[in-house]
C-alpha cells in the first residue's frame, strides 16, 4: 500500500475532526455577540441616565432604538461571516438558543407592556437581569466554562438587589451600565481569549 495512503486514514480524520471542532468553537463562542450587545447595553443605560438628569435631550426610545439597530446590524454582519456553524452541535444550539430566548422575551414583554400602557421600569429591569442570568447559566453548562457561572451569579445578585428596591432611582441605570460592561463585555473578551488559547490540537505538525 502507498505510504501516503497509510498515513492519511485515521490520523487525518482525527486531525480534521479536532481542527473543525476548534474552528467551530471559536466561531460559536468567539464572544463577539457578547461584546456587541454588552457595549450596546452599557451605552444605552448610560444614555438613559444622562437623559434622566437632562444632560442630553430626547426620549428613552431615541436612546435605545439607534443603539438597538446598530447592535442588530453588527450581529447580522458578524453572523453572515460565520455561516458555516454546525447548528446540530448541542453547545452551539444552547448558545444561540439562550440568547434568542433573551431577545424574544424582552421584545415580547416590552411590546405588550407598551401596548397595554403598563411599562414598569422595575419589572422590565428584573426580567432583563433574570433572563440574562439564565442565559449565562445555560451557556456555562453547555460550554463548561466555569467563569460564566460567576457571571450568571452576578446577574442573579443584581436581580435580587433590584427586587429589594421600592422604586428604581436613576442611579440604578449607572449600576446596570457598569454591570453590562463588567458582566457582558468582559465575559465576551474572556471567551475570545479562552477559545483562541484552547484551539491547540497537538497533531497538526506531527506525522
Partner 1 sequence: MSYDYRAIDDIIHSRVRLAIMSYLATARDADFVELKKALKVTDGNLSTHLSKLEGKSYVSVSKQFVDKKPQTLVAITKAGDAAFKAYVEDLATMLSPQTNKR
Burial of 113 (0-12, 13-18, 19+ CB in 10 A): middle
Query: Interface with partner 1 includes 26 (CB under 8 A)?
Result: yes
- Distance, CA of 171 to chain centre: 24
Query: Interface with partner 1 includes 19 (CB under 8 A)?
Result: yes
- The half-sphere exposure of 135 on its side-chain side, counting CA atoms within 13 A, is 24
Nearer to partner 1, 10 or 116 (CB): 10
Binding-residue total with partner 1 (CB under 8 A)? 36
- Tell me the window of 55-63, 82-90, 132-140, 169-177 that interacts with partner 1 (CB under 8 A): 82-90
CB of 55 vs partner 1, minimal distance in Å: 29
CB of 148 vs partner 1, minimal distance in Å: 21
How many degrees, rounded to 5, is the angle at CA 150 between CA 128 and CA 48?
A: 35
CA distance 107 to 111: 6
DSSP class of residue 185 equals I
Query: Interface with partner 1 includes 88 (CB under 8 A)?
Result: no
Query: Interface with partner 1 includes 87 (CB under 8 A)?
Result: no
CB of 46 vs partner 1, minimal distance in Å: 23
Instruction: Write each residue from 163 to 202 as x if it is in contact with partner 1 (CB under 8 A), else as -, in one continuous string.
Output: ---------------------------------xx-xxxx
DSSP 80-147: HHTTT--TTSHHHHHHHHHHHHHHHHHHHHHHHHHHTT---HHHHHHHHHHHHHHHHHHHHHHH--TH
Nearer to partner 1, 18 or 72 (CB): 18
**CA–CA distance from 136 to each of 12, 13, 98, 101 (Å)?**
35, 33, 8, 12
Where in 115-144 is the site for partner 1 (CB under 8 A)? Answer: none
Positions in the binding site for partner 1 (CB under 8 A) = 2, 4-5, 8-10, 12-13, 15-16, 18-24, 26-27, 81-86, 196-197, 199-207
Amino acid at each position: 500500500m502507498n505510504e501516503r495512503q497509510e498515513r492519511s486514514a485515521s490520523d487525518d480524520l482525527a486531525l480534521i475532526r479536532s481542527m473543525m471542532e476548534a474552528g467551530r468553537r471559536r466561531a460559536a463562542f468567539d464572544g463577539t455577540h457578547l461584546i456587541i450587545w454588552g457595549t450596546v447595553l452599557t451605552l444605552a443605560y448610560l444614555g438613559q441616565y444622562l437623559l434622566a438628569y437632562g444632560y442630553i435631550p430626547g426620549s428613552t426610545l431615541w436612546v435605545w432604538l439607534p443603539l438597538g439597530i446598530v447592535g442588530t446590524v453588527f450581529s447580522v454582519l458578524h453572523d453572515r461571516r460565520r455561516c458555516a456553524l454546525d447548528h446540530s452541535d448541542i453547545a452551539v444550539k444552547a448558545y444561540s438558543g439562550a440568547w434568542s430566548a433573551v431577545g424574544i422575551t424582552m421584545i415580547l414583554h416590552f411590546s405588550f407592556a407598551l401596548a397595554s400602557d403598563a411599562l414598569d421600569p422595575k419589572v422590565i429591569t428584573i426580567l432583563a437581569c433574570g433572563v440574562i442570568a439564565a442565559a449565562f447559566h445555560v451557556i456555562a453548562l453547555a460550554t463548561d466554562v466555569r467563569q460564566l457561572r460567576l457571571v450568571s451569579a452576578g446577574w442573579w445578585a443584581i436581580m435580587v438587589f433590584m427586587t429589594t428596591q421600592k422604586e428604581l432611582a436613576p442611579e440604578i441605570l449607572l449600576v446596570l451600565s457598569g454591570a453590562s460592561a463588567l458582566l457582558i463585555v468582559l465575559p465576551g473578551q474572556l471567551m475570545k481569549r479562552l477559545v483562541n488559547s484552547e484551539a491547540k490540537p497537538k497533531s497538526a505538525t506531527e506525522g
